[in-house]
Amino acid sequence: MAETTYLDAIRRALFEEMERDANVFVMGQDVAQFGGAFRVTKGLYERFGRLRVVNTPLCESGALGAALGAALVGKRPIVEMQFADFVSCGFNQIVNNIARTYYRWEQPVPFVLRLPFGGGAGAGPFHSQSPEAWFAHVPGLAVVAPSTPADALGMMKSAIRDDNPVVYLEHRFLYRREKESLGEGEQLTPLGKARVAREGRSITILSWSWTLHESLAAAEEVAREGISVEVIDLRTLVPLDEETVMASVKKCSKVLIVHEATATAGYGAELAARIADQAFEWLDGPVKRVTYADRSSPYNKHMEKALLPGREAIVAALRKLARY
Amino acid sequence: MAETTYLDAIRRALFEEMERDANVFVMGQDVAQFGGAFRVTKGLYERFGRLRVVNTPLCESGALGAALGAALVGKRPIVEMQFADFVSCGFNQIVNNIARTYYRWEQPVPFVLRLPFGGGAGAGPFHSQSPEAWFAHVPGLAVVAPSTPADALGMMKSAIRDDNPVVYLEHRFLYRREKESLGEGEQLTPLGKARVAREGRSITILSWSWTLHESLAAAEEVAREGISVEVIDLRTLVPLDEETVMASVKKCSKVLIVHEATATAGYGAELAARIADQAFEWLDGPVKRVTYADRSSPYNKHMEKALLPGREAIVAALRKLARY
Amino acid sequence: MAEQTAGTPSPTTLRRAHFFMRLSRAWDSRFESMARAGNIGRWYSAVGNEATTVGAALSLLPNDALSTVHRDLGAILTHYLDPTRLAPALFEPQDRTAWDALRPDPGALLHRLASQVLGRRDGFTRGVDRSFHYGLIDRATGLRHVGMISHLGAMIPVAAGLALANLQDGNQNVVVGFIGEGATSQGDFHEALNMAGVMKLPLILVVENNRYAFSTPLHEQFACEKLSDRAPGYGIAGETFDGTDFEAVHGAFERALARARTGEGATLLEAMLPRMRGHAEGDGSYELIAADERARWLTHDPLPRFEAWLTRIGAADAARIAAVQETATAIIEAAVARGLATPEPELHEAWRNPFAPGPVADAFARQHAEVTRG
Amino acid sequence: MAEQTAGTPSPTTLRRAHFFMRLSRAWDSRFESMARAGNIGRWYSAVGNEATTVGAALSLLPNDALSTVHRDLGAILTHYLDPTRLAPALFEPQDRTAWDALRPDPGALLHRLASQVLGRRDGFTRGVDRSFHYGLIDRATGLRHVGMISHLGAMIPVAAGLALANLQDGNQNVVVGFIGEGATSQGDFHEALNMAGVMKLPLILVVENNRYAFSTPLHEQFACEKLSDRAPGYGIAGETFDGTDFEAVHGAFERALARARTGEGATLLEAMLPRMRGHAEGDGSYELIAADERARWLTHDPLPRFEAWLTRIGAADAARIAAVQETATAIIEAAVARGLATPEPELHEAWRNPFAPGPVADAFARQHAEVTRG
Ligand SMILES: Cc1ncc(C[n+]2csc(CCOP(=O)(O)OP(=O)(O)O)c2C)c(N)n1
Ligand SMILES: Cc1ncc(C[n+]2csc(CCOP(=O)(O)OP(=O)(O)O)c2C)c(N)n1
Ligand SMILES: [Mg+2]
Ligand SMILES: [Mg+2]
């Protein structure tokens, strides 16, 4: 069976949901004929036309606010940022308008924010960011970050159907690199459920998106040395699936948190905090993090690589933790 | 000697530094004749005129970007947000432009962002926020939050003199409630240094700003029950004074983190994460947090109070931790 | 009748306009006195805005949307309430529109509104948010109203999005949005109007230019001659008019609505309004304005002007004017009294799930609640 | 000489203009061929923009500031380099200005620039940021140049702030800022120009209207007739001109500079430019444009036009034109060769302190470094 890339899985989700529900529409810069900077929306315009695949001028805030307006009266907008880094230009609409509407006056806001994010491409400080922690801190936003094509498909479909604003982080490095065979028919991944990506006994890795793959590779590597690592793919960061996380932590008693965002006040800190609170008695070692260094992303690839939390850094951290 | 309020201490710092250095200037909405929504800049216009106490139109992003431009050519701008909540409208200028300039091309950006923040006034979801975690996550921003008039004075002066962008969180509830006698002459509080606000032996509280006072009151209350609490006033959140924090944690072996921002991905998570990493062996109990609930701030005062991390909640948490 | 010309609004329109302008004013009077007595928190007066707010909302149809900010009580009242049921004595049978018949019970709605503004349990947000910080979207009755967040300007793109949904649905519905002149300096004003121009959105944005943003006078806000000069930059229509002159207001809206309903696109309207009050009751911003300027603006009250005109064109006599004023006052007195007698919101509302029902809300609820309480 | 009129730029100006336009074009040709060969990453071509970028920067004085985005190489070269030292054979003694004498060694500066754009160790950011994402502010020489961040529009308020500092310092210096037409849809464009109007800032904002933002054509970007129609909305001056016509460019800038230097405030200039290339080399955006449209724009090249005009007015003959082209090509070949021979940046630069020296940087360095490495 043909393999589907992570990118094609997202496109399939958009296509299927737009077919299913005429209220679903896509909006963003260059998303129509051009199909978006990464060509994720390629082909949608031809099928659904300009009122459901809406090119906007270069205005993140305007587009996000407009999405809210449309959502209030029954539409289910999906807004693409050309790069996640540009979301800061529409920040207020997300964190104060979209996120808070339901709590304030109980009007649901079905809305998906597509954020092509992350580094590894030597794209410099403004095309490499991982902004999930900002959104995780805002009550009323769900934050998801699939790492496989199956979840990219299934979580996008679930996000579109959910009556809440969902920040959907899609890793640009995975777009064309991750592939797998997906069945036909309806495939939904539930929001709010983590996935045990690899079973193990002595160290739990908590990760998501690109670093999930680096973590799996690292786990594989240290397995040869007799270190048994369980890898949890969080998939949904908010709300957190504490059940799955704590079960693994309590089983393994050591934890490594791996994410691509910078360390300080990153989402990994929240994971560490919950573990240090809820699983304290089960811990046999310090809760460790492997993350991007607290710097902007340098343009130079080697520099970027030095700061990225890749397989080698994870392996080193696992070894240290195993020895602890 | 006359007592100086927290608010007057900030004004004194602005006044002294503007006297000292002609490059220092203030910018914001209604800051000139009116003296700002909280009247922090009252009187500056009369002394320094319209080119150094600059009223802007209602445009956070424009004002912040302009501050960066002026800073690049030798000015030392101080920008006031009318409420911290509105900073989201100028978010991109801070997190992508101001914060990253020095790392990118080594041009210093002396800049102070004044954020009147926090709740307790029944002011609803959009005049009560505590946004420090967003900024703590951005490499290149210093984040400070004084809790006393002396530090309000001394940290504002240090912030103005620093060659880096400093996010200065001033708590609106403390403005007129906190008072103390301040000497004449120059008073500087160093950035990057925490303060032991109360010595104790068995539990460390880490806090700042308004919740620092609630923490002190709670510490006082449980002291009568024989629970000895050390209270650390972080003052500077980024960069963190790990030395002071870890020394206290290692001494007391139990930690309670108290802050007013919502819990998930709040700055308290970072503190918990660093402790669970660096002080794991010294811990005698779970790292606990008392924070705002993960909700927007309700308008109704009683509702707001129910969600706020006040003295009672802290006392309860301390008792539980003491029993652990 | 001498002055009544072709463009003059219908008698029904004038009766509704008069009633709602007085209803809005009566509300303000009541709340201003409570604010002065310290019985409520901040109060943002809409005194002086009535001809514009009421005039804007009068011509809306079911599923037209209204987007309001902090001085648009008149528009909300006009949009929500069936006056023929609320004040039957003041109206004729032919004043009752088809939509009035659909509209919810006006007494109940007024009670929710008063409770909302008073922060009581029966308000739209049940205590969670303040005053006009809410919305009301009701498919059954075709009521579409979106209130504000505090961040000024942020609702303009939202209004554009409401209008976009109309295009997508292929209907003739329109959106009327309000904004203070201060907020026109925000980027969102620009981004939204630019989209409105490009997409030919059925949007009417009304700038309520009351000469100050908080303490900031116009010349520190913008340097254009009039704000409607910005319309050509977006390729949309623009007009500036005297917002205290009901006829001018009505004419401007009729033109803008006709454009919006026939696919000609958006209009930027600038209503010039008098500064009859400070920014918020008792915040010191009124005192900053020179005494003679304050005195001058007080002479620009749209209400006596409207009533004098009604009298001149023979649309109302002194008795009717008195009846409208008294009825409006009585309705508001009763609504506020009932609001004040309504219990405080229930504390547990603070803890309500920030997510709409579904898997996300369930997952949120499954998290360890104690995380915020040590 | 027939066409030379009162407004015609001086011979010195024309010589400089010609040299820098060719220098800019030579750079683009070199980098485009590297990009096509896959030897460098993205390349954003400035082909077609040269008359505008060079014309804009020509009249700047020490401490005037230049704010550039991604197609403004011509302005940077013109602003930075003393041509009389860089290409002495092409210039007369009287071409050397007082500022030229102050300017840094042009060869050294060109090397830093080439290294920057090639991502080498000697670049302004030493590998940390790309291409024109940097600035150069040098008190000694009065060079003030602020480059871009990727977020389009974000530099316009920064340019306004550079201008505000001039007001505060009470000098006559100005700021020239560039922006693509796409970025005019951003809120920052609006907020900055509005401030510029209110504060009468000495700011000239040049919109480089090259007809597309990435793949998005003008009619999906804005509905105004011309972008300078936005100027009245800010109470500033505005002009739209043919950006391939050096005389038109020069005239527009002379007028705008005169206004800015004499306290009359800001100007919004819109330079209409041909779409001679795609968004970035090889990204598929060029192919989206109809073939006949692409062909048409290629006939609007400002360089042959300028050289034909120089010939017509007798300012240059074929030999000189050839000499300028050859010299420009040789200089760029040499600069790029030297750049390519320059080592990669040093890895440790990645770890440099994100804070400027002082207590904050020290405190940052004192933190436990291992936090990010398990
Ligand atoms: C984005 C944002 N910045 C600042 C404020 C603070 N603020 C509240 S009201 C106001 C003035 C509003 O003026 P205008 O829009 O003219 O409305 P008016 O009150 O005059 O009706 C300001 C600056 C805000 N609410 N939102
Ligand atoms: C705020 C922001 N949103 C989106 C982008 C992605 N982006 C990069 S270039 C571009 C088009 C720019 O068009 P224009 O301003 O006309 O400049 P041109 O490339 O045509 O010179 C876009 C949308 C960006 N850089 N910044
Ligand atoms: Mg106003
Ligand atoms: Mg363009």
CA–CA min distance A176, chain B (Å):
28
* D357's tokens: 């020296």
Domain finish residue from B180, B215, B238: B180
Residue D134 lies in a domain: yes
Residue C198 sits at the chain D interface (C-beta within 8 Å): yes
> Does residue A127 have an active-site annotation?
yes
pLDDT at C2 over 50: no
Supply the mean pLDDT for chain C: 96
| C-beta neighbour count of C169 within 10 angstroms | 16
Helix (H) or strand (E) holding A180: strand A179-181
Q: At what angle do helices C73-80 and C50-58 cross, to 10 degrees?
A: 30
Residue nearest to atom 12 of ligand 1 (CA): C213
Per-residue pLDDT, D3: 44
Rounded to 5 degrees, φ, ψ at D328 are: -60, -45
Helix (H, G, I), strand (E, B) or coil at A113: strand
Q: Averaged over D131-139, what is the pLDDT? A: 97
Per-residue pLDDT, C4: 45
Residues A148 and A208 reside in one and the same domain: no
C270 C-alpha to ligand 1 centroid (Å): 17
pLDDT at D2 over 70: no
Residue D287 lies in a domain: yes
Residues B160 and B228 reside in one and the same domain: no
| Burial (CB count <10 Å: 0-12, 13-18, 19+), residue C243 | buried
Tell me the pLDDT tens digit for each residue of C285-336.
Answer: 999 999 999 999 999 999 999 999 999 999 999 999 999 999 999 999 999 9
Helix (H, G, I), strand (E, B) or coil at A181: strand
pLDDT at C5 over 90: no
Q: Which of A100, A105, A107, A155 to mutate to test the interface with C (most CBs of C within 10 A)?
A: A105
Q: Averaged over B65-84, what is the pLDDT? A: 98
The residues that bridge with B257 in the sheet, in sequence order, are: B206, B289
Task: Give the CATH number of the domain where residue A285 resides.
Answer: 3.40.50.920
**Which residues neighbour A187 within 8 Å (Cβ) at sequence distance 6 or greater?**
A150, A153, A154, A157
Tell me which of A82, A89, A126 to substitute to probe ligand 2's pocket, judged by most ligand atoms within 8 Å of the beta carbon. A82
Residue C2 lies in a domain: no
CA distance C151 to C325: 35
C152 C-alpha to ligand 1 centroid (Å): 6
* Nearest chain D residue (CA) to B48: D168
C contacts of D227 (beta carbons < 8 Å):
233
Q: Which residue in B82, B37, D183, A111 sits closest to C187, CA to CA?
A: D183
Residues A139 and A14 reside in one and the same domain: yes
Do A272 and B268 count as a contact with CB atoms less than 8 A apart? no
Tell me which of C214, C270, C297 to substitute to probe ligand 1's pocket, judged by most ligand atoms within 8 Å of the beta carbon. C214
CA–CA min distance A319, chain D (Å):
10
Tell me the pLDDT tens digit for each residue of D51-93.
Answer: 999 999 999 999 999 999 999 999 999 999 999 999 999 999 9
* Nearest chain C residue (CA) to B307: C350
CA–CA min distance D372, chain A (Å):
5
pLDDT at B63 over 90: yes
D151 C-alpha to ligand 2 centroid (Å): 8
Q: How confident is the model at residue C41 (pLDDT cuts 50, 70, 90)?
A: confident
Per-residue pLDDT, D58: 96
pLDDT at D42 over 90: no
Residue D235 sits at the chain C interface (C-beta within 8 Å): yes
pLDDT at D264 over 80: yes
Residue nearest to atom 20 of ligand 2 (CA): D213
Q: How confident is the model at residue D40 (pLDDT cuts 50, 70, 90)?
A: confident
Supply the mean pLDDT for chain D: 96
Tell me the pLDDT tens digit for each residue of A196-250.
Answer: 999 999 999 999 999 999 999 999 999 999 999 999 999 999 999 999 999 999 9
Residue B188 lies in a domain: no
Residue A188 lies in a domain: no
Residue D130 sits at the chain A interface (C-beta within 8 Å): yes
Residues A167 and A208 reside in one and the same domain: no
Neighbouring chains of B at 3+ CB pairs under 8 Å are A, C, D
Question: pTM of whole model > 0.80?
Answer: yes
- Structural domain of residue D69, as residue ranges? 11-369
Tell me the pLDDT tens digit for each residue of D175-216.
Answer: 999 999 999 999 999 999 999 999 999 999 999 999 999 999
Tell me which of D152, D210, D297 to substitute to probe ligand 2's pocket, judged by most ligand atoms within 8 Å of the beta carbon. D152
Average pLDDT per 10 consecutive residues for chain A, totaling 324 residues:
94 98 98 98 98 98 98 98 98 98 98 98 96 98 98 98 98 97 94 98 98 98 98 98 98 98 98 98 98 97 96 98 97
CA distance A260 to A265: 13
Tell me the pLDDT tens digit for each residue of D271-287.
Answer: 999 999 999 988 999 99
Cβ(D39) – ligand 2 distance below 6 Å: no
Do B97 and D158 count as a contact with CB atoms less than 8 A apart? yes
Query: Which ligand has its closest atom nearest to the C-alpha of C48?
Result: 1
Residue C4 lies in a domain: no
Do C154 and A92 count as a contact with CB atoms less than 8 A apart? yes
Q: Give chain D's largest Cα–Cα span.
A: 76
Residue D154 sits at the chain A interface (C-beta within 8 Å): yes
What is residue B98's DSSP assignment? I
Nearest to A277 among B134, B238, B289 (CB): B289
Residues A64 and A146 reside in one and the same domain: yes
Domain finish residue from A146, A180, A214: A180
Residue C34 sits at the chain A interface (C-beta within 8 Å): no
Cβ(D45) – ligand 2 distance below 6 Å: no
Residue C374 lies in a domain: no
Tell me which of B38, B56, B58, B87 to substitute to probe ligand 1's pocket, judged by most ligand atoms within 8 Å of the beta carbon. B58
Do A97 and C137 count as a contact with CB atoms less than 8 A apart? no
Helix (H, G, I), strand (E, B) or coil at A288: strand
* Nearest chain C residue (CA) to B311: C373
Q: Which of A58, A130, A319 to mutate to test the interface with D (most CBs of D within 10 A)?
A: A58
CA distance C120 to C197: 41
Residue D96 lies in a domain: yes
Looking at chain B, the whole-number percentage of residues with pLDDT higher than 70 is 100
Per-residue pLDDT, A1: 65
* B239's tokens: 């960069």
Do A55 and D216 count as a contact with CB atoms less than 8 A apart? yes
CA–CA min distance B221, chain D (Å):
33
Cβ(D183) – ligand 2 distance below 6 Å: yes
Task: Give the CATH number of the domain where residue C346 resides.
Answer: 3.40.50.970
Residues A128 and A260 reside in one and the same domain: no
Do B105 and D187 count as a contact with CB atoms less than 8 A apart? no
Task: Give the CATH number of the domain where residue B88 resides.
Answer: 3.40.50.970
Per-residue pLDDT, B1: 65
- Tally of domains in chain A: 2
Do B74 and D352 count as a contact with CB atoms less than 8 A apart? no
pLDDT at D125 over 60: yes
HEC string for chain D = CCCCCCCCCCHHHHHHHHHHHHHHHHHHHHHHHHHHCCCCCCCCCCCCCHHHHHHHHHCCCCCCEEECCCCCHHHHHHHHCCHHHHCHHHCCHHHCCHHHHHCCCHHHHHHHHHHHHHCCCCCCCCCCCCCCCCEEEECCCCEEEECCCCCCCCHHHHHHHHHHHHHHHCCCCCEEEEEEHHHHHCHHHHHHHHHHHHHCCCEEEEEEECCEECCEEHHHCCCCCCHHHHHHHHCCEEEEEECCCHHHHHHHHHHHHHHHHCCCCCEEEEEECCCCCCCCCCCCCCCCCCHHHHHHHHCCCHHHHHHHHHHHCCCCCHHHHHHHHHHHHHHHHHHHHHHHCCCCCCHHHHHCCCCCCCHHHHHHHHCCHHHHEC
Cβ(A121) – ligand 2 distance below 6 Å: no
Residues B216 and B162 reside in one and the same domain: no
Q: What is the dihedral of CA C316, C319, C322, C326, to 10 degrees?
A: -110
Q: Averaged over B307-312, what is the pLDDT? A: 97
Label the pairing between strands D135-138 and D143-146. Answer: antiparallel
- Tally of domains in chain C: 1
Cβ(D156) – ligand 2 distance below 6 Å: no
Q: Which of D116, D128, D207, D227 to mutate to test the interface with A (most CBs of A within 10 A)?
A: D128
C300 C-alpha to ligand 3 centroid (Å): 16
Report the nearest atom of ligand 1 relative to the CA of B29.
23
Residue B64 lies in a domain: yes
- Structural domain of residue B106, as residue ranges? 4-180
Residue D285 lies in a domain: yes
C192 C-alpha to ligand 3 centroid (Å): 19
Residue nearest to atom 13 of ligand 2 (CA): D213
Residue nearest to atom 17 of ligand 1 (CA): C180
Residue C243 lies in a domain: yes
* A36's tokens: 């978006």
Residues A218 and A141 reside in one and the same domain: no
* Nearest chain B residue (CA) to A295: B139
D contacts of B163 (beta carbons < 8 Å):
356-358
D contacts of A295 (beta carbons < 8 Å):
350-352, 354
* Nearest chain C residue (CA) to D220: C198
Q: How confident is the model at residue C371 (pLDDT cuts 50, 70, 90)?
A: confident
Do A296 and B92 count as a contact with CB atoms less than 8 A apart? no
Of the residues A127, A171, A213, A259, only one is catalytic, namely A127
Residue A186 lies in a domain: no
